Amino acid sequence: MEPEAGPVLYQKLLVWEPSLESEEEEEEISEQLIPDPWGPQDSSGNKAGGLPGAWARLVAALLLLAIGFSLAVRQLHSSSGSPGTLGSGAPPPSRHSHGPGVYPHGAIISPAATCSHLGQELLVAGGNVVDAGIGAALCLAVVHPHTTGLGAMFWGLFYNSSSGNSTALTSGPAQTLAPGLGLPLALPALRLLHTHFGRLPWPRLLVGPTTLAQEGFLVDTSLARALAAQGTKGICPLLCRTDGTPLGPGARAINPKLAAVLHRAALAPTPDLTGDALLSLLAQDLGLEGPSAGPRPTLEPALRLPVPQGILFTTPSPSAGPELLELLEAAQQSGGPSPDPCPPRLLAAGTTGSSVLATVDSGGSVLLLTSSLNSSFGSGHLSPSTGVLLSNLVAKSAAWACPLILRGRLDDNEADVLGLVASGTPAVARVMTHTLLSHLVRPQTHAQQGPTKSPRPCIQGTLLQVAAHAEHAHVSSVPSGCCPSQGF
């Protein structure tokens, strides 16, 4: 296990007021018009070609006083008329505008606008990419129960730009709580990641998700579509109207039982105890004596593969990381063209319960998180005591996650960092990521150019891309616009 890395700190940009720039220019022009009282004078004490010395000094003083008073009044008027400004005359380090998905300090991208906004709030509050990612993941566990939740399995990949180390988070092999029901390890996994790399206090990360579960959240289009396809079996009354029909877009849902679980998790002193309260309640619901003590989530060094642009990092087994690295290494050695991104056996739609998110800062630190319930709404079993939908992950069904980070040459302190994470069916995640990276490993391709789009679409899935380039954070998604981003 790697030594604990120091926190990543952020500094908030000062707000630039365009009016102040023109004022500074006006001051410079005005000063050039003021006669110099110490300039060359004639023998009578008069300034060469002008007023007597005493009068020149008096006029200069009055002009300076008038200009200073005028600027002060305009400054006060500008500050009072611009809500939210910092009242500072200093312009920001950069006065150029940023395109969509480009942020000066840090950014987060996730499938839900509410959760991206929550992650942004944690960044602005002084948190780092780990804090923002975990907060957003717990938010998604509330607002997207069809793809993730406290009953899901989590994998993560964290690149720390300060140390140059990349660390993988794994929940271990899929375990069962009962036949057909996966053992939930989301809380201890995320708490373990925070303990080693987070900056903000652990309870701070759960404030937003707990509030959403307690006070309610609006059903978005993604959840509404899943509800319409799933029906109401196993999910009422949590996501149903009083007449038993599923909630539609814009309807408000609440989950007070889940809020109570999150509140108790916020008070747990250690990662191992973070999920124990949930497991005890689940055991009571299922009539079990108690959850068996199986493998716990772990942090370990990420797998790495040298490529022409630098080093590629991914997660170890149980995940698709080792398989992916073998494919890429073979492609490098063969020097052949990229494989067909859409083999015939994959040209069929499939449904899955998986979710991804990514956070990045301008310094190059990246966190990629992927989680899975294995299918939409997982097992469809809603725990009445916890408000948690359990997954139906069993045996090797979880071995498809493959978040990847490409770091430029390690001898270059200003090298770009690129992160890729995909969701969808297991085949989609592997094919999408392999196709994109097969372009990146070519010598003529540079990481800052980003991945090349597939020639034609495969099956349904989502790919998130984040990058640190030119001291800015960049985020994007495929398909474009599927996942809202926020930054500062």
Complete DSSP assignment for 186-201: HHHHHHHHHHHH--S-
Asked which of 6-10, 223-227, 444-448 is least confident by mean pLDDT, the reply is: 444-448
The continuous run of DSSP H or E covering 67 comes out as helix 53-81
pLDDT at 101: 86
- The answer to whether residue 30 scores a pLDDT higher than 90 is no
- The answer to whether residue 268 scores a pLDDT higher than 80 is yes
pLDDT confidence bin for 430, thresholds 50/70/90: low
Mean pLDDT of 283-309: 84
Two structure tokens written together for 230: 């799933």
Which has more pLDDT, 350 or 386? 386
Give whichever of 81-95, 400-414, 473-487 has the largest mean pLDDT.
473-487
CA 178 centroid distance within chain: 33
Please give the share of the chain, as a percent, with pLDDT higher than 70. Answer: 65
pTM of the model: 0.76
pLDDT at 450: 41
pLDDT confidence bin for 188, thresholds 50/70/90: very high
- The answer to whether residue 27 scores a pLDDT higher than 80 is no
pLDDT confidence bin for 397, thresholds 50/70/90: low
Angle at 102 between CA 101 and CA 108, to 5 degrees: 60
pLDDT confidence bin for 18, thresholds 50/70/90: very low
pLDDT confidence bin for 261, thresholds 50/70/90: very high
Distance CA 12, CA 104 (A): 10
Mean pLDDT of 106-134: 97
Mean pLDDT of 132-147: 97
The amino acid present at 415, given as its one-letter code, is: A
Task: Give the helix ranges, DSSP H, for 216-308.
Answer: 221-230, 256-267, 271-274, 276-286
Which has more pLDDT, 166 or 67? 166
- The answer to whether residue 83 scores a pLDDT higher than 60 is no
pLDDT at 152: 92
- The answer to whether residue 62 scores a pLDDT higher than 80 is no
CA 211 centroid distance within chain: 20
pLDDT at 93: 45
Mean pLDDT taken over the chain: 75
- The answer to whether residue 56 scores a pLDDT higher than 60 is no
A 10 A CB-CB count for 54 gives 10
Asked which of 162-166, 173-177, 482-486 is least confident by mean pLDDT, the reply is: 173-177
Contact 154, 401 (CB under 8 A): no
pLDDT confidence bin for 457, thresholds 50/70/90: very low
pLDDT at 396: 54
Please give the share of the chain, as a percent, with pLDDT higher than 90. Answer: 40
pLDDT confidence bin for 173, thresholds 50/70/90: confident
Distance CA 276, CA 345 (A): 42
Per the listing, tokens 């889940």 go with: 258
